[in-house]
């Protein structure tokens, strides 16, 4: 149902875009600008700041790139195939006094090396987002991605919002959907750690499966077998383990930072007033892989 809705919206976008403000037929999607209030919300959602390097894939008149530089002091690059729009964007950058921080390049976005970006922004068709997805997933963990109107298939967003935008005439008129993802670090594999609980060292082992940012799998603590479930946000890991103890269900919460083959953080043992917080360090003893998504497009 969701996919059908997206396809319908994409179809409307393709048809309507052709008649509205399209400069040329160059590229894989015609030009329609993201309304400025939506650009502003997306830059906020992506937490763009002065240390960021934003790349807008299909930059149009340059509004994402120029706004990121002007409002947040970020460096930014826009790539587009439309020479007229690139000229408009360069003129706007001059007018706004941000030419020292922005660049516009005539380039196919599918051939762009965007590995140095800390933030990616897009307003592209759903199948284009899907084609870009595996390349985005290989970016540095913690890289943020913001997209207007179309998401990325089975890679569900970490955050999304629906905005009322009366001036929007294409896609779903009057409404913009905005999405935010954080590229997750690979946590899949087998992790071992020892927690000191009430002066006693207890061995833990987690076997994590990972589907995009979601992690889950079996967990063992001492003689107890349980289930772990949680999420990655860049290198930050957070999960809970639930298992059946001698007399009751026990629940632990874990959070930490993953660096290579280690995790350091804290574990919260027990619940309510009796809960204890202890240091938690884990070591990966077997590296896993991301679970392949059903909707993974063919690599051409």
Binding interface with ligand SAM (CB under 6 A): 26-29, 31-34, 56, 58-60, 63-64, 79-82, 85, 108-110, 123, 148
Question: Minimum Å distance from CB 23 to ligand SAM?
Answer: 7
Question: Minimum Å distance from CB 5 to ligand SAM?
Answer: 19
**How many Cα neighbours within 13 Å face the side chain of 168?**
23
Helix 83-95 × helix 63-72 angle, to 10° = 20
- For every residue of 255-285, DSSP letters joined together read EEEEETTEEEEEEEESSGGG-EEEEEEEEEE
Closer residue to ligand SAM (CB): 128 or 221: 128
Closer residue to ligand SAM (CB): 41 or 80: 80
Closer residue to ligand SAM (CB): 110 or 290: 110
Distance between CA atoms of residues 142 and 144, nearest Å: 6
Question: Minimum Å distance from CB 33 to ligand SAM?
Answer: 4
Q: Which residue pairs from 196-203 have beta carbons closer than 8 angstroms and sit at least 24 positions apart in sequence?
A: 196/278, 196/279, 197/269, 197/276, 197/278
Closer residue to ligand SAM (CB): 55 or 263: 55
Question: Minimum Å distance from CB 134 to ligand SAM?
Answer: 17
Question: Minimum Å distance from CB 229 to ligand SAM?
Answer: 36
Question: Minimum Å distance from CB 109 to ligand SAM?
Answer: 4
Closer residue to ligand SAM (CB): 77 or 237: 77
Question: At residue 24, what are phi and psi to the nearest 5 degrees?
Answer: -150, 175
Distance between CA atoms of residues 159 and 93, nearest Å: 30
Closer residue to ligand SAM (CB): 95 or 287: 95
**Other C-beta atoms within 10 Å of 56: how many?**
32
Q: Give me the residue whose beta carbon is nearest to ligand SAM.
A: 58
Identify whether the C-beta of residue 79 lies closer than 8 Å to the C-beta of residue 112.
Answer: yes
């Amino acid at each position: 149902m969701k996919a059908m809705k997206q396809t319908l919206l994409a179809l409307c976008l393709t048809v309507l875009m052709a008649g509205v403000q399209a400069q040329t037929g160059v590229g894989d999607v015609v030009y329609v600008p993201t309304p400025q209030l939506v650009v502003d919300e997306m830059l906020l959602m992506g937490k763009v700041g002065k240390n960021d390097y934003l790349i807008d894939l299909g930059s149009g008149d340059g509004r994402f790139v120029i706004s990121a530089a002007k409002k947040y002091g970020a460096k930014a690059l826009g790539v587009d195939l439309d020479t007229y729009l690139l000229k408009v964007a360069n003129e706007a950058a001059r007018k706004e006094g941000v030419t020292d921080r922005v660049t516009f390049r005539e380039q196919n976005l599918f051939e762009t090396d965007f590995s140095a970006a800390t933030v990616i922004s897009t307003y592209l068709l759903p199948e284009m987002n899907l084609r870009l997805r595996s390349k985005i997933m290989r970016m540095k963990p913690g890289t943020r991605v913001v997209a207007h109107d179309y998401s990325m298939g089975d890679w569900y967003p970490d955050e999304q919002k629906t905005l009322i935008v009366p001036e929007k005439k294409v896609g779903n008129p009057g409404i913009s959907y905005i999405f935010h993802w954080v590229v997750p670090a690979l946590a899949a594999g087998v992790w071992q750690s020892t927690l000191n609980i009430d002066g006693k060292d207890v061995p833990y082992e987690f076997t994590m499966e990972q589907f995009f940012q979601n992690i889950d799998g079996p967990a063992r603590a001492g003689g107890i077998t349980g289930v772990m479930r949680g999420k990655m946000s860049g290198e930050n890991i957070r999960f809970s383990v639930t298992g059946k103890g001698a007399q009751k269900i026990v629940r632990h919460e874990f959070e930490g930072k993953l660096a290579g083959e280690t995790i350091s953080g804290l574990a919260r043992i027990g619940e309510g007033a009796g809960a204890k917080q202890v240091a938690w360090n884990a070591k990966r003893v077997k590296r896993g892989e991301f679970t392949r998504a059903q909707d993974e497009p063919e690599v051409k």
